[in-house]
Every structure is written in structure tokens, then in C-alpha cells.
Amino acid sequence: REVGGLANQLAAHMSFTAEDCDRLQRFWRSPRMAREPGLTAVDLFDAIDRGAIKAVWIMGTNPAVSMPEGNRIARALAACPLVIVSDVLAQTDTTAFAHILLPAQGWGEKNGTVTNSERRISRQRAFMPPAGEAKPDWWLLAQVAQRLGFHEGFTWTHPAAIFREHAALSGFENNGQRAFDISGLAGMSDAQWDAMKPVQWPINARYPEGCARLFSDRHFYHPDGKARLLPPATPQPVVCETAYPLLMNSGRIRDQWHTMTRTGLVPRLMQHCDEPFAALHPQDAQRYGLCAGALARVQSDAGWVTVRVTLDSGLRRGEIFVPMHWNRQFSLQGTVGGLVASTRCPVSAQPAFKQTAVRIHPLNASWQGWLWQRDASPPDALRYWARTPYEGVQRFSVAGDGSPEQWLMATIPLAGLQLQTAHAAEPHYRLLAWRNGELHLVFYAGASLPEINHDWVAQAFRQAPVNAADRHALLAGQSAQRAVAGRTICSCFGVGENTILQAIKQGCHSTQALGNALNCGTNCGSCLPELKHLLLSVAVPEEE
């Protein structure tokens, strides 16, 4: 943002006034200069959708998932004549539309500086070598600019050179009129830049060692020296009418980050919340014919998602929560951005992700099941699926119509595999498939999701059952020797809900006691609220 990465702001926190534009043009010795703001994200995709923009370069973001009105975003990208995407992953919802895909460096491979929200500039040093042909973003931009004929302005060979230019610009014709000024760092050598200690801007002749607190002299960066207090724009409340009676808030969950393109690949982080879900008050669930664990469709006037229902008595009546993270790499139809309208704050242009009018109703399917396979490719011809990675195997929660056996035989290639099946009254069906002693596929189906020991099934793909008794136990999905740990509560140490409840019943009546016994809650601490909730859910006998 400080180097001009916003559509409505120029580099070094300068705006689009004639004075600022002229200043930048002189500093860069540029023959041309942008004179008015560009398009913010929603407006940008509006322009792509109507054909006004013919080429777009998307770097380090996943708008096909994160943007509101996601179906329209997908349509715009599909019709755009040239889509370039720089990413660390080959397969995301956005790279699916790329005509040119460039391998970017990931966070741990980058070398540069970052600035946090207290104005502290810190060195970011790579701790991993770049993968394959991955290159830093600045190098990609400079190479393209040079090939377009702008070689003179993009001759950097090291990130320290970019930093020096950035620092020099911040002090250019500043004279104390602009808050952002790091001109005191403009003369750093590459070695000095590499060894730079964290420091808070401004850093200049007045504050050579940085400045911890701005405005301590009560002078503000306006011509009269006074502050400007701006009242926030009041958003228009969403009206929930008969057709869409519920207010949906889409937000984050504990173990995922943005559109889960990377965190979703980490098995440990997927054990806490492993499917897209809608949380609602138990009385609302009863009103709409839903129960915990049921499948449902959440729909707005812009789109719909299919999710698993969870109950939360802490939610207000008439409101539901649906997480923002799931994408088409991990679910059939779980991208919540497809429901959200593109209503925006008039000042920041931030979309109103927390105010969407929706309705919810049951998603009826003939059967539900678990499909375990080594291939991450999602199965076809289903009403619902959601993928959860385990070490060496992928688990799909699935639901479909008709016969689960007929669906499996028609959809999944099983030729050349040894099969063992267990039949009961439709739709109950189970199958193991292996070759040369290696387990390739396991399938469990029933009228509702069968109860199985997921950790034990995952272990079977690493060490396949060797005798008939083990295979029969695997068909059952349970091991007589291994207790079911339950849903993972503590991701740091892999501690399950059932294990914690058992410890509470055995005398661990505080989070500290649970930590001493099981380690849960003793590392990052993000599971402590759930540990407290579980402690309250178990009746502790009174001492005599």
C-alpha cells in the first residue's frame, strides 16, 4: 500500500491531486502520469465483465473465491481475453481461468521489508530457497516492463535498490508536509539494508532513529495543522424479507486463512472444521426442518451453497454464520462469496460481507457417505462433496441419489483392484479396494453419515490391513483396540473432543488441568474457548 498498490492512492501515501501527480512525474522523469484513481476491486471486475478491460494480471490473491458475487466474477474471468495469474499454487479457483500462469515466491521465499499497522518497518528474510522457477513479484513486474519498452525505469537487480528509491520518494519535496517520510534510509547500502533493525516511521532528519508516536506535538498533516475527524458512513441495513428471512454473516474460522489455498492442504488444520457449514440457533434449525449434521442449501438472490448444519445457541435468532474459506478445490458448492452482494462502503469500497439476506432449507439426498482415495480429484455425479486431506490419502464426505453401489461402480475406476464389500438394506454399502497389499480406496455409505474412526482408517492407507480380521474391522470402520478420539479440538497436539470429555469426567476440571494431562491449550491457546465450553458441558459432581 505504501508503494502505490491501491487503486485510489499513489506511491508514498500521495493522492491524485495535481500537485502530487506532478511531483511523482518529476521524481520518476516519466513521460506520462496517471491523473485520477483507478478502479477498486468490485469496479475492476465490473469493467472486465462488460468488456471494458481486456487484460488483467492477478497477483497473490484468489478473487474467484474472495470477491462478492462470485458467479459473476467467474463469468468475467472466463470471458476476459487475457488473464495472467502469479501464484504459489498451480491449482486454485482463479488459476483455472489463467491463460498465463507465473510461479511466484511464497512468504518464506521472499526477501524484502514489511510494515505493520504501528508503522514498524521490518526486514523479511527468506528461510526457504525458491521452489522451481519461482521468482519474486518485483522481478516479474520489472521483466515485463522492460519487454514493454520501459527498461530505464525498471533496472533494479536487488530489492534494496527498490527500497532506496521508495525511501527517496517519501522525502522528495516533503518539507514536513507528509507523514510518511523514510528519507533517512535512502542512502543505505545493500549490506545496511540487509541488516536493518525494525524501526517505526517517520525516519528523517527530525527523527533519525524513527518515531514511536505520531502527533505528540499536536500538529497534523493539513495546511492549518489541525486534525480532521471524519464520521464513518453508516451502512444501509439489509432487510430480511419473506423470501430471504435470515441474515448471513460470512467470516473466519480458527484454523483457516483467507481462501484456504495453502492452509487447506495441511491435514492438521483441517481436522477441527472439515466441511463448509452453516451455524444457526437451534430454534431456527427446528423452524426450517434442520438438525445438527444435516445437509442444507443456503441461498441468496445472487447464488447458493451446500453446507453441513451445526447448531449454536450463542447465535441470535434470525442470523446464521457461514465461513468464508471453502472453494471449489475443497467442496462442490461451498464458495460463500457467490451469495454476497457487491454492496460497498462509499469510503473504503470494502464489500459488506457480513450482511447478506438468505434462506435455508434441507438438501435431501438418498444416501451419504465417506469416500477415501489417494487421488485428490473430486468424484462426479454427486449432490454434495467436501474434501479433507489426510497424510497420503484424501477423504471426501459425499451425498448422492439412487444407489450408492451403482454410483460407485459407474463413477470410480476399480478395474485391476481386489474388492471386498459388505451389503445391507439400501442404501447401506461398504467397499475396500487394494492392489498388491496396498489400500487404494475405501467407501462407506448409509442413510446418514456412517460413524467411523477416521484416524484409524487414515492409518490403514499407510499400513494396509494384512489379514481377514483386519479387513473386516476396516469394513466396519472401527477398531476394537482404538477408541474414537472425536473431532479435533487442539490442532497443535491433535487432541480430540472425546479424549477431552473423558479427561474432564476423570477429574480434569479446569483448562490448566486439561493442559497438564493432555497438553491441549498449552501452545497457541486458540482452543481455550472450546475447552472452557466443554468444561461447562460436563456436569462435575459436587464434593461431599
Closest CA to 93 of 70, 65, 71: 65
pLDDT for 137 equals 93
pLDDT for 228 equals 93
Distance CA 286, CA 315 (A): 14
Average pLDDT value for residue range 397-421: 95
Tell me the pLDDT band of 537, cut-offs 50, 70 and 90: confident
Task: Answer whether residue 544 shows pLDDT above 50.
Answer: no
Distance CA 144, CA 274 (A): 41
- Cell numbers standing for residue 172: 522528495
List pLDDT tens digits, range 41-83: 999 999 999 999 999 999 989 999 999 999 999 999 999 999 9
Q: Pairing between strand 356-362 and 295-299? A: antiparallel
Task: Answer whether residue 10 shows pLDDT above 60.
Answer: yes
**Residue 140 DSSP SS3:** helix
Identify the burial level of 285 via C-beta atoms within 10 angstroms of its C-beta, where 0-12 means exposed, 13-18 middle and 19 or more buried.
Answer: buried
- DSSP type of residue 515: H
Average pLDDT value for residue range 300-306: 94
Task: Answer whether residue 142 shows pLDDT above 70.
Answer: yes
Average pLDDT value for residue range 118-126: 95
Task: Answer whether residue 335 shows pLDDT above 90.
Answer: yes
Residue that is written with C-alpha cell 492438521 in the block: 268
- Cell numbers standing for residue 114: 514489511
Q: What residue type is 83 in one-letter code?
A: V
CA distances to 168, 244, 247, 248 from 239, in Å: 50, 9, 8, 12
Distance CA 375, CA 24 (A): 53
Average pLDDT value for residue range 273-292: 96
For the chain, the straight-line distance linking the first and the last C-alpha, in angstroms and rounded, comes to 63
pLDDT for 419 equals 93
pTM of the model: 0.89
List pLDDT tens digits, range 483-504: 667 788 998 888 988 899 999 9
Give exposure, 68-89, as e/b (b: 16+ Cβ within 10 Å). Answer: bbbebbbebbeebeebbbbbbb
Distance CA 320, CA 336 (A): 12
Task: Answer whether residue 479 shows pLDDT above 80.
Answer: no
Is pLDDT larger for residue 218 or for residue 239?
218
DSSP-assigned letters across all residues of 186-254 = TT--HHHHHTPPPEESP-SSS-TT--SSTTTTS--SSTTS-----PPPPPPPPP--SSS-EEEEEE--T
Distance CA 11, CA 15 (A): 8
pLDDT for 482 equals 58
Distance CA 209, CA 389 (A): 48
Q: What is the C-alpha radius of gyration for the chain, rounded to an integer number of angstroms?
A: 28
List pLDDT tens digits, range 418-437: 999 998 888 999 999 998 88
Closest CA to 84 of 103, 71, 67, 98: 98
Average pLDDT value for residue range 92-98: 97
**Residue 296 DSSP SS3:** strand
